[in-house]
Chain A
């Protein structure tokens, strides 16, 4: 029996999740850059980016095609774990690359509005804050808690109740004065490739910049709408936050997020 990699037990692991359909989406370089940056932050050696694409292509061609259409839409997860002993007294050695994929369920992308409740505190200054580390069990526990409250997901907060993100998605908010906002780094959200790509697109389109700000319950009256972003769902509007209704986000923003995260079928 093989022992789990050290990263799987001790937490020295980083990951990214994205869609793949014959190839990656346009945000692929951002995923690679984040893997590299997060690995450095966690103290891991650089992931083997130069061979990663070939390994993914090779790996996915070995997988049975669940769609029967010849070009399945995969939800691909790339993990880069520390190897070595399981004692923190010992330094991490090398790295283990793990790829896992499953066909995307029909209701995972561009799904309907979601109801959120605030949860936490679940974000605080910590050594690896901002990195997309593999230890997300506590975050997912908050999601379970939210489901128990009759909501669909949880907005993770810091100790002062400021919003940060959901366990698996970044937040984009539309404010009353027309500004676009996202919780800033002092609320400790993970660096989101989808949010970064969308902000860059909006800037290129001459649209308002996305401001990184501190937002919490006291700012609720300023928030007109809220959008969840990640590389799998694309964009999902928030219908309710803590039982209070929100307006529908601009459709153009949702569509941009979908386009940015959609891979291109190549065959």
Chain B
């Protein structure tokens, strides 16, 4: 059951294999992959790190500050540097909801390097074989069930009142986790749990991000940009017949299809803001894709960029990713701010790499852990539409916690 299954391959697989060496005891600053056999990633030696950027949005004037951050990103790429890093949910929210963002944890961080210094590194074996037994839900997350169900009920009230059509409601877990895992080992652990196209590790100034995302936020090649939103989830089953039935039921479930269809429409709208008029196309719709822990419905939207090579402008038009907000996007973000009441931080933002030739691969930072040396945090959530049921949405949220918990379990065993 391990690995990625799909009835037809996505139209374009990301060239997602990159690594950065950091300085000091944290040897690796960022890496992505792995690819090949043995698994390997691309790396850059520490002496070739040209610059590191770390931004915190102010409480006041956060919109202007966010635009400055995007301008700096484009300036770095124009200098001929490649960049790898993350751009938080709050960075996007600051653009649309001025004054909402609080810059306590870092809203954007990236490192700059000359892409010619990329080199291949071979990943180690996972710290220990994963037994494919999912750890129990931690008390911190399990205890949030009642509050989540109450918030979900409030969202449904708002949907019935015509305030919003869909809201992606999330919860966050915080677990004790001392120290910093070796980045290569962390990446190997991510891929040991489930093969995902956007496995990555990023070592920021205060946090280490370990990303097990399967969701493409933006992939840019030349003038072409694509996004592959995920909405619609079902658990896997050990019995192949029942597993196939789960996938079939997911494909046909009106609620799951509605969730995905709404988000595809939002992605169309977001990309259109940066695209050549009339160039936005839905390439794939409601594809059922299987991962080790769950089935997802995925769609793909593509467009021709009006201003190729301007990643900052593209992020300005699209961040935060549609699938982690709701519909209408800005109104959903207001509801999220009201009901969740805390920062999402890197979770639900963008994480990835961009190159001076204009190409870029950014994941939606879901199934992503962020570690501060003492605590490991991760977020999980579900999209709520008119016919959602709070209990079922909470169950889906808990299902999504399996992969970050399994990664942590592997990393604990390997320490």
Contacts and interface: CB of A to CB of B under 8 A. Distances in A.
Interface in A223-267: 249-253, 255-256, 258-260, 263-267
B165 to A, nearest CB: 6
Interface stretch (B78-86, B326-334, B372-380): B326-334
Contacts of B277: 28-29, 32
Interface stretch (A4-12, A101-109, A140-148, A198-206): A198-206
Interface in B143-169: 161-165
Nearest to A203: B265
Contacts of B306: 23
A204 B265 contact: yes
Chain B interface SS verdict (over half): helix
Given A204-B261, A259-B269, A264 B331 contact: no
Most A-side CB within 10 Å, residue of B64, B261, B269: B269
B313 A26 contact: no
A184 B331 CA distance: 30
B301 to A, nearest CB: 12
Given A25-B273, A29-B278, A256-B328, A266 B310 contact: yes
Nearest to A258: B330
Interface string B63-85: 01001000100000000000000
B307 interface: yes
Contacts of B64: 69
A207 interface: yes
Contact of B163 (A201, A205, A250, A260): A250
Interface string A24-57: 0110110010000000000000000000000000
A251 to B, nearest CB: 4
A252 B265 contact: no
A205 B263 CA distance: 8
A267 B269 contact: no
A11 B177 CA distance: 73
B313 A266 contact: yes
A255 B328 contact: yes
A252 B261 contact: no
B317 A252 contact: no
B274 interface: yes
A176 interface: no
B269 A255 contact: no
Contacts of B261: 204-206
A266 B316 contact: yes
Interface string B301-313: 0000011001001
A174 to B, nearest CB: 9
Contacts of A206: 258, 261-262
B262 A205 contact: yes
Contacts of A204: 261-262, 264-265, 268
B316 A265 contact: yes
Interface in B241-275: 258, 261-262, 264-265, 268-269, 272-274
A252 B269 contact: no
Contact of B67 (A255, A263, A265): A265
B269 A251 contact: no
B5 to A, nearest CB: 28
Given A23-B273, A28-B277, A252-B163, 17 more contacts: A23-B274, A29-B277, A32-B277, A201-B265, A201-B269, A204-B264, A205-B265, A206-B258, A206-B262, A252-B165, A252-B328, A258-B330, A260-B269, A264-B273, A265-B95, A266-B317, A267-B313
Interface of A: 23, 25-26, 28-29, 32, 69, 71, 201, 204-207, 249-253, 255-256, 258-260, 263-267
* Complex A-B, nearest 8 residue pairs according to Cβ-Cβ distance, in ascending order: A250-B162, A29-B277, A204-B265, A255-B331, A255-B328, A264-B273, A26-B272, A251-B163
